[in-house]
Amino acid sequence: MPKIGVATVDEALLAPPPAGISGGKTRALFGGPDHSIQVHLHELDDGEAMRFTPSATDRLLYVWSGSVEAGGRRLGPASSLIVERHAGLELHGADVATQLLSFGATRPKAQARSGGHVHLLPAERVPRTDSMATGGVPGALYADAACPTCEVWLHENTIPPMDDAAAAARGKSIVHAHAEDEVIFVTRGALRLGTRLLAAGAALSIEAETFYGFGPGPDGLEFLNFRAERPAGIRFKDGTVIDEVGLWRDCADGLSYLEPLSA
């Protein structure tokens, strides 16, 4: 896969859902074997079913718009679900044109955790901070890769609006790399990557150890960051390394999932 790949919801083609998933209409943003992380957009009508059968990889779902019913709970926008490997679930759309993002590793790990569970995280239970330890931007944590039975990571950051010059300067000042492959998905506003402005619905796949930086658009930026394993340090161009898990420790201490009432 390229070191940085870009896909958009508007240009994503209709495609079969990932293995172990059926129901609804699916668009593949990153779905081929050349991508280590798969990202799909699933669209469900009110009452339409989406089914998960036991598979070899963990799958994390994020409710981008609308709502779903799962395990006897209604989950609205900014809620999430983790369907672990070897677990099954049936959920239903609870609004017209619900949009769900799904993230997951393309291939199972050699030493994967046991799986077998489904975790529900309603939006009102998502731990949030108004100011991260670095950068001072708001953040939210959906999965911290610390679960004993699954290993996925998802966080959210919000960056306020900036003009073109300020956004470009920010992008240069935060050039960094991660030790893991990752995916960024723009949920609101726009992301400035070099001279490109990527609107909501854009996704970036970024290969491990790739240096990059970005800034917000004129209306700000809200984005998700997914990894299929526990993050290591954030490495900057000057050699500085920051403990990424440590940055999120306060949020992680408040991360508490619900188990579904039925599966």
**Residue 187 domain flag:** yes
pLDDT attached to residue 104 = 97
Q: What are 12's two structure tokens?
A: 């994503």
Q: What are 112's two structure tokens?
A: 């994967």
Q: In whole angstroms, give the CA distance from residue 126 to residue 140.
A: 7
pLDDT attached to residue 136 = 81
**Residues 104, 211: one domain?**
no
Indicate the residue among 67, 94, 125 that finishes a domain: 125
**Residues 121, 181: one domain?**
no
CB 145 within 8 A of CB 231: yes
**Residues 214, 99: one domain?**
no
Residue 160 belongs to domain spanning: 128-252
**Residue 4 domain flag:** no
**Residue 176 domain flag:** yes
**Total of domains in the chain:** 2
| Residue 195, CA distances (Å) to 151, 210, 217 in order | 35, 18, 11
**Residue 25 domain flag:** yes
**Residue 135 domain flag:** yes
**Residues 41, 56: one domain?**
yes
| Residue 154, CA distances (Å) to 45, 88, 196 in order | 26, 21, 24
Asked if residue 262 has pLDDT above 70, the reply is no
**Residues 110, 138: one domain?**
no
Q: How many helices (H) and strands (E) does the chain have?
A: 3, 23
**Residues 86, 26: one domain?**
yes
pLDDT digits (tens, 9 = 90+) for 47-72: 999 999 999 999 999 999 999 999 99
Asked if residue 44 has pLDDT above 80, the reply is yes
**Given the structure tokens 């569970």, which residue do they identify?**
117
Q: In whole angstroms, give the CA distance from residue 8 to residue 39.
A: 11
Q: Residue 263: pLDDT band by 50, 70, 90 thresholds?
A: very low
Indicate the residue among 125, 149, 181 that finishes a domain: 125
Q: Residue 261: pLDDT band by 50, 70, 90 thresholds?
A: low
**Residues 116, 136: one domain?**
no
pLDDT digits (tens, 9 = 90+) for 98-156: 999 999 999 999 999 999 999 999 999 999 999 886 678 999 999 999 999 999 999 99
CATH of the domain at 36: 2.60.120.10
pLDDT attached to residue 132 = 83
Indicate the residue among 96, 125, 154 that finishes a domain: 125
Percent of the chain's residues with pLDDT above 90:
84
In the chain, the N- to C-terminal Cα span, in Å, equals 35
**Residues 175, 106: one domain?**
no
pLDDT digits (tens, 9 = 90+) for 144-200: 999 999 999 999 999 999 999 999 999 998 999 999 999 999 999 999 999 999 999
**Residue 258 domain flag:** no
pLDDT digits (tens, 9 = 90+) for 195-231: 999 999 999 999 999 999 999 999 999 999 999 999 9
| Residue 28, CA distances (Å) to 161, 198, 205, 216, 243 in order | 29, 18, 13, 25, 32
**Residue 115 domain flag:** yes
**Residues 103, 161: one domain?**
no
**Residues 52, 110: one domain?**
yes
**Residues 150, 248: one domain?**
yes
Tell which residue, 132, 134, 202, 190, has the closest CA to residue 163: 190
**Residue 87 domain flag:** yes
**Residues 132, 121: one domain?**
no
pLDDT digits (tens, 9 = 90+) for 64-96: 999 999 999 999 999 999 999 999 999 999 999
